[in-house]
Amino acid sequence: MYRDNSKIINKLTTKIFIVVFLLCGIGLVAIYSASSNSEVPFFQRAVGRQIIWMVLGLLIVFIMYVIKKEFIFNVSYWLYGAGLILVILPYLFPSSGGAHRWLTMGGFSYQPSEIMKILLVLAIAKYFTTTEFSHSEFKVLVIPLILTIIPTLIVLNQPDLGTAMIYVLTLFPIMIWAKVDLVNIFILVSPIISILTAFNFYTFFIWLIIIIGVLYLKKIKHWHFILIIIINLALGTVSPYLWNNLRPYQQQRIITLFDVKSDPQGAGYQVIQSQVAIGSGGAFGKGFCQGKQTHLKFLPEQKTDFIFSVIGEEWGFVGVSFVLLLYFLLIYLSIKAAYRVREQFNSLVIIGLTGILFFHTVINIAMTVGLMPVTGLPLPFLSYGGSFLTSCFIIIALIFNMNRELEEFDL
């Protein structure tokens, strides 16, 4: 019924490609500046290595662009399974600094939880596409929830809070675009909010009223209604009691589970230096390679997690606005692509992958200005590092691939 215009690269793809191309260029400039005072040969410097990774990335885009969508759809669950094995694999090797995040082979290390982000999106998208339940029923969420929770728990244990956050957050745009009833998403997150609000009687009381109000307005079946209230009430009453009865060291153990920055003082220092660098950049910045904080190496992790601070210092508010605009365009165009495609699987994959890019971008940039804690999530296309850059190119390649349909619906 529909023509597959796989030969034709549609306009959205072209636009996204240009945005990505610009971001990569800006990344190289910033990395160059951050590593400019080193005297090693060009291709052994960070910027040289990053260029090599980018060329490899482009290759990945071209290869993945021509893979048949049907094939990707068919192997989605298998890929998810393989991804789980990959994520567990680091546990078979001795830990590095107490963490099981990396697979190291001959001087090259890779973080398998990175690719798992993408495989998780594929699996959940396939489930929503093929499930027979109506998407307005709550039980449609059970399998996606399990698919998400398994890798999340493994990654939390590694420990890598940032990646775990991405897994969980990515579920939300997919659920919404799979037409899951908002009230079901509300029910899904209500127990978590109950636990969090339960430590103050009034907040918990207000929250309970909100739950009852929403359930009543949405005309939830009686026994469902009662069950949900009971679950929330039980969690709310039991959890502060349980918490207070834990020994201090047990409480500490739980806190550290969600607080993976093993080095809180170091993290605080980074945020302050980052803000000083960005703030001193002013409206127009200090200019290329002129960042004092950058070049005196006051700014830590400046090539990787805090690359945006380098941009803030050297290119000022103008530069920051331009880069933010590019990221907004990237997300905006991707959402348009997700809206445009007429196959549910394609649409859900695009929105899920867009979610990954969006959350990474926002959490990273917010971190550099102290709006979010330091979780070690890099910035797509800008941060130095092959593992994550490759993932970003795979994401873009998949978005292009899924967008490769239906010329006549192009907007």
Partner 1 sequence: MTFFPYQISKNIKNITLSIVAIVFLTLLYRFYQIQIKQHNKYSGIAEDNRVRMVSLEAPRGIIYDRSGNILVDNKFQYNVFIIPFEIDSVNKYYRRLGEIIGVSEQTIKKRVQNNWRGRFKPALVAKGVEFSVLSKIEEHKLELPGVIYKLDPYRSYPSPVNLTHVLGYLREIDSKSLKKLKKYGYSYGDLVGWEGVERQYESILRGEQGYQYVQVNARGRVQGELESKENVQPKPGNDLYLTIDLGLQDTCEKSLSGQKGAIVVMNPDNGEILAAVSKPDYSPRIFSGIIDKTVWDSLRYDPERPLYNRISSATYPPASTFKLMASMGALKNNIVDPSWTVNCPGSYKLGRRTFKCWREFGHGKVDMVKSIEQSCDVYYYTLIRKMDLDLWANVVRKFGFGQATNIDLSGENIGNIPDKKYLNKVYGENGWTEGYKLNIVIGQGEVLVTPIQMVKYISAFATDGKLVHPHVGLKYFDNEKFRTFTTEEDSIEAFSPPTWELMNHALHEVVNDPAGTANLANARSVEVYGKTGTAQNPHGENHAWFVGYAEDGESKIALAIILENGGSGGHDAAPVAGKIFNYYVDNFWSHNQQIGQK
Applying CB under 8 A, which residues contact partner 1?
A: 70, 73-74, 98, 173, 176-177, 179, 247-249, 252-253, 256, 262-266, 268-269, 271-273, 275-283, 292-293, 296, 298, 300, 312, 316-317, 320-321, 324, 327-328, 331-332, 335, 338-339, 341-345, 347, 351, 358, 362, 365-366, 369-371
Integer Cα distance of 280 and 303 in angstroms:
19
Residue 263 CB, nearest approach to partner 1 (Å): 7
Residue 370: what are its φ and ψ, rounded to 5°? Answer: 75, 20
Output 176 or 188, the one with its CB closest to partner 1. Answer: 176
Residue 1 CB, nearest approach to partner 1 (Å): 8
Residue 197 CB, nearest approach to partner 1 (Å): 20
Output 221 or 408, the one with its CB closest to partner 1. Answer: 408
Output 20 or 323, the one with its CB closest to partner 1. Answer: 323
Q: Cβ-count burial of 125 within 10 angstroms (0-12 exposed, 13-18 middle, 19+ buried)?
A: buried
Output 345 or 400, the one with its CB closest to partner 1. Answer: 345
DSSP symbol at 96: B
What does each C-alpha distance from 35 to 45, 191, 211, 319 come to in angstroms?
7, 47, 53, 19
Residue 244 CB, nearest approach to partner 1 (Å): 9
Render the burial of 350-384: b for 16+ CB within 10 Å, e for the rest: bbbbbbbbbbbbbbbbebbbeebbbbbbbbbbbbb
Residue 212 CB, nearest approach to partner 1 (Å): 25
The pairing of beta strand 108-110 with beta strand 103-105: antiparallel
Residue 70 CB, nearest approach to partner 1 (Å): 6
Please list, in sequence order, all residues whose beta carbon lies within 8 angstroms of the beta carbon of residue 111, skipping any fewer than 6 positions away. 101, 102, 103, 387, 388
Integer Cα distance of 175 and 177 in angstroms:
6
Structure tokens at 88: 């567990």
Residue 100 CB, nearest approach to partner 1 (Å): 14
Answer for the pair 168, 355: CB distance below 8 angstroms, yes or no.
no
Please report the DSSP string for 25-36 in residue order: HHHHHHHHHHTT
Residue 312 CB, nearest approach to partner 1 (Å): 7
Answer for the pair 119, 79: CB distance below 8 angstroms, yes or no.
yes
Residue 215 CB, nearest approach to partner 1 (Å): 22
Output 114 or 313, the one with its CB closest to partner 1. Answer: 313
Residue 139 CB, nearest approach to partner 1 (Å): 21
Output 118 or 365, the one with its CB closest to partner 1. Answer: 365
Q: What H or E segment, with its residue span, contains residue 109?
A: strand 108-110
Output 194 or 340, the one with its CB closest to partner 1. Answer: 340
Integer Cα distance of 375 and 239 in angstroms:
26
Output 268 or 386, the one with its CB closest to partner 1. Answer: 268
Output 78 or 328, the one with its CB closest to partner 1. Answer: 328
Integer Cα distance of 398 and 411 in angstroms:
20
Integer Cα distance of 28 and 297 in angstroms:
18
Output 84 or 164, the one with its CB closest to partner 1. Answer: 164
Nearest to 338 by CA among 356, 359, 357, 353: 353
Integer Cα distance of 76 and 64 in angstroms:
15
